[in-house]
């Protein structure tokens, strides 16, 4: 086997086509630079009828949408999942981390929740507030202009609220709450929990001529054929390709960044999954956007005499400070939502129309960081699992469980839409001891050494999850709702989801001013190699109780502007 080299030298090679890679591809290609986008998975176009799952009925799937091949069910747009055949990862004994990967054009943006929250001024400077972790080397004012640009380019609905640490933006108007959400609003207010309209990157109004307007099927997780949700494919990569400046390489899994004798990057090598051959692309700059852990893996696997510890890793910090959002949830039965009128279509947008941003001061609490609350429920489309355990619900209204015959039809209909749930999503404290590294003994089917994870929650996260559960019960109490099952107690870490499960993992190539304690500088540029950048969640110093995507997009744009400037100044030639 020999390595097949390309003759063309690109200005920029971008690894990955999700939020960070897509944004970088668009901004750089539109500036006139030549760009190669290298994506590990297949091409995906949400408007292609052969790939579309939007508006399919459960009976169009023989398994009625069950999650046998896709983690979130047959109709979810994300290819891949927690485990990918032939591409394992390992965990150090006694630790846990579940890694969700989606190898496809657009990556996880094809199915994500579209919750698009700006980090606030405090989120960049947490150490100043509680002494834990580290401050970012940048602040809100540095990122604000880019948040503004992302809002206008991609579109996000929301409302001006003038809340502390929840900055407002350039919002589209919000959709009206659904019925169960009105119940939540009322109960949350009684419980003293702030509740405002949600902020999602779904187009309630037109933002440009290329993308459509939401038609309220609630299926953003299926990737929208009208391009009315933010998916990196339809909102960023296709526009980048339109410039004629961007070449897309799909089914191409990157092994390493290639460096020259001076230790600078000259390109990348990748395996083409179709012919299993190894290829090299030449580039003046390499932008990693493969996801926090995949980018760390590429850096750690890019060993050379100049970089014996992996690229940009003399500090040993690559892979360290891995952290995910916390998550804990509870569901409840709302008696007033029994026997609902089914006269109307309640789908709405994909996900929540209302949510609770963090409303308390951690100085008064026994845990350092906040969380927000997401709300779910309603008269949704049935899928595999509908009707499971339905007769158990009778216990809650003093009826008979079990049975058979047409009484079951009444059970299913009486309880339809009567269950709602709440999920807390919080900030964990980044720990140096939570990390990924190269497993010395295991390779994937492409011969590339794989990641081994070490991750343990601390009491900061456990106590936060306890607070979530207490809040949930209070809100349900105010609603007159009956929480389902037992509240998860101390023995179950208060329902705290395993690390990785919330799919907000960040921090593996964190930014900082000190090259000894960080991997990238404030421009997301490796301290040690000035023509390698990271524009996924890796450079996050702390992840806030916000979802990371909007910040990934803003920082990727900011870094791309910096790269353009470096080309102009001929610092990169």
Partner 1 sequence: MDRRESMKTMLVGSLAGGLVIGCTPEEEATEQVATPVKSDAYGRTEEEKLRDELLHEAEFFTEAEVGTIATLCDLILPATDNFGSATDAEVPEFIAFIAKDITEHQLPLRGGLMWLNHRAIKKFSHTFDECTLAQQTELLDEIAYPDKATPEVAQGVAFFNRMRNLTLTGYYTSKMGIEELGYKGNRPNVWDGVPDDVLKEHGMAYDEDWLAKCIDQKTRDVMAEWDDDGNLLT
Cβ at position 318, least distance to partner 1 in Å? 32
Report the candidate in 22, 440, 428, 453 with the shortest Cα–Cα distance to residue 241: 22
Q: Please count the residues of the chain.
A: 573
Cβ at position 342, least distance to partner 1 in Å? 3
| Residue 231 vs 431, nearer CB to partner 1 | 231
Cα torsion 22, 24, 26, 29: sign: negative
| Residue 125 vs 186, nearer CB to partner 1 | 186
Where is 286: in which H helix or E strand? strand 278-288
Cβ at position 316, least distance to partner 1 in Å? 38
| Residue 218 vs 531, nearer CB to partner 1 | 218
Q: What is the DSSP letter of 487?
A: P
Yes or no: say if 399 and 511 are a contact pair by the CB < 8 Å rule.
Answer: no
How far apart are alpha carbons 523 and 534 in whole angstroms? 9
How far apart are alpha carbons 241 and 30 in whole angstroms? 9
| Residue 334 vs 497, nearer CB to partner 1 | 334
Cβ at position 325, least distance to partner 1 in Å? 26
Cβ at position 159, least distance to partner 1 in Å? 4
Please report where in the chains the tokens 């760390």 appear, as a residue.
Answer: 296
How far apart are alpha carbons 459 and 493 in whole angstroms? 9
| Residue 205 vs 568, nearer CB to partner 1 | 205
Q: Which long-range contacts (CB under 8 A, 24 or more apart) does 383-391 make?
A: 383/58, 383/64, 383/65, 383/66, 383/73, 383/75, 384/58, 384/63, 384/64, 384/65, 384/66, 384/67, 384/73, 385/66, 386/412, 387/412, 390/415
Yes or no: say if 528 and 509 are a contact pair by the CB < 8 Å rule.
Answer: no
258 strand-pairing partners: 267
Cβ at position 446, least distance to partner 1 in Å? 16
Residue 278, classed as helix, strand or coil, is strand
Where b means 16+ CB within 10 Å and e means fewer, 238-250 reads bbbbebebbbbbb
Cβ at position 173, least distance to partner 1 in Å? 4
| Residue 8 vs 205, nearer CB to partner 1 | 205
Cβ at position 1, least distance to partner 1 in Å? 25
Cβ at position 162, least distance to partner 1 in Å? 11
| Residue 167 vs 327, nearer CB to partner 1 | 167
How far apart are alpha carbons 556 and 532 in whole angstroms? 13
| Residue 39 vs 437, nearer CB to partner 1 | 39
* DSSP string for residues in 376-402: EESSPPP-TTTTTTGGGGGGGGT----
| Residue 49 vs 131, nearer CB to partner 1 | 49
How far apart are alpha carbons 12 and 33 in whole angstroms? 7
Cβ at position 93, least distance to partner 1 in Å? 27
**Residue 521 CB partners (closer than 8 Å, separation 6+):** 137, 511, 512, 513, 527
| Residue 264 vs 413, nearer CB to partner 1 | 413
Yes or no: say if 117 and 374 are a contact pair by the CB < 8 Å rule.
Answer: no
| Residue 354 vs 503, nearer CB to partner 1 | 354
Which two structure tokens, joined as six digits, stand for 441? 């003994």
Cβ at position 3, least distance to partner 1 in Å? 27
Cβ at position 158, least distance to partner 1 in Å? 8
Report the candidate in 53, 26, 22, 50 with the shortest Cα–Cα distance to residue 350: 53
| Residue 4 vs 55, nearer CB to partner 1 | 55
């Amino acid at each position: 086997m020999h390595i097949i080299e390309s003759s063309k030298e690109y200005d920029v090679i971008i690894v990955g086509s999700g939020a960070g890679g897509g944004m970088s591809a668009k901004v750089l290609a539109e500036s006139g630079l030549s760009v190669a986008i290298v994506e590990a998975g297949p091409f995906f176009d949400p408007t292609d009828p052969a790939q579309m799952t939007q508006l399919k009925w459960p009976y169009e799937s023989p398994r009625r949408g069950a999650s046998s091949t896709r983690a979130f069910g047959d109709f979810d747009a994300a290819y891949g999942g927690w485990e990918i055949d032939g591409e394992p990862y390992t965990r150090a004994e006694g630790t846990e981390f579940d890694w969700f990967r989606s190898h496809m054009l657009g990556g996880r943006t094809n199915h994500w929740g579209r919750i698009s929250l700006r980090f606030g001024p405090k989120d960049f400077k947490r150490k100043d507030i509680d002494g834990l972790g580290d401050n970012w080397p940048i602040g809100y004012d540095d990122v604000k202009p880019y948040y503004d640009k992302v809002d206008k380019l991609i579109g996000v609905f929301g409302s001006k609220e003038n809340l502390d640490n929840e900055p407002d933006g350039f919002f589209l108007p919000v959709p009206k709450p659904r019925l169960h959400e009105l119940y939540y609003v009322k109960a949350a207010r009684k419980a003293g929990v702030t509740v405002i309209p949600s902020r999602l990157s779904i187009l309630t109004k037109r933002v440009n001529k290329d993308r459509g307007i939401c038609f309220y099927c609630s299926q953003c997780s299926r990737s929208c054929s009208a391009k009315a949700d933010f998916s990196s494919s339809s909102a960023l990569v296709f526009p980048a390709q339109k410039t004629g400046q961007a070449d897309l390489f799909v089914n191409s899994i990157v092994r390493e960044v290639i460096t020259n004798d001076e230790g600078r990057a000259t390109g990348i090598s990748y395996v083409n999954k179709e012919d299993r051959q190894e290829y090299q692309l030449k580039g003046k700059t390499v932008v990693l956007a493969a996801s926090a852990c995949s980018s760390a893996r590429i850096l750690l696997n890019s060993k050379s005499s100049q970089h014996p510890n992996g690229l940009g890793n003399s500090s040993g910090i690559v892979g360290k400070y891995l952290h995910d959002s916390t998550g804990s949830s509870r569901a409840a039965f709302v008696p007033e939502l029994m026997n609902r009128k089914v006269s109307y279509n309640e789908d709405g947008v994909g996900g929540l129309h209302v949510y609770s941003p963090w409303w308390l001061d951690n100085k008064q609490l026994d845990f350092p960081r906040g969380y927000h609350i997401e709300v779910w429920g309603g008269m949704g489309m049935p899928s595999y699992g509908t009707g499971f355990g339905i007769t158990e619900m009778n216990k809650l209204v003093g009826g008979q469980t079990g049975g058979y015959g047409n009484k079951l039809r009444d059970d299913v209909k009486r309880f339809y839409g009567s269950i709602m749930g709440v999920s807390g999503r919080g900030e964990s404290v980044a720990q140096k001891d939570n990390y990924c590294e190269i497993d010395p003994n295991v390779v994937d089917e492409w011969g590339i050494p794989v990641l081994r994870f070490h991750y343990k929650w601390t009491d900061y996260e456990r106590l936060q999850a306890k607070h979530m559960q207490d809040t949930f019960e209070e809100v349900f109490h105010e609603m007159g709702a009956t929480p389902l099952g037992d509240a998860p107690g101390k023995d179950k870490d208060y329902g705290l989801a395993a690390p990785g499960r919330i799919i907000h993992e960040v921090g593996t190539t964190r930014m900082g001013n000190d090259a000894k304690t960080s991997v990238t500088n404030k421009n997301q540029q490796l301290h040690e190699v000035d023509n390698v950048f990271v524009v996924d969640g890796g450079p996050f110093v702390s992840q806030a109780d916000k979802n990371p995507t909007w910040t990934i997009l803003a920082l990727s744009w900011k870094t791309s502007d910096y790269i353009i400037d470096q080309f102009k100044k001929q610092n990169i030639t």
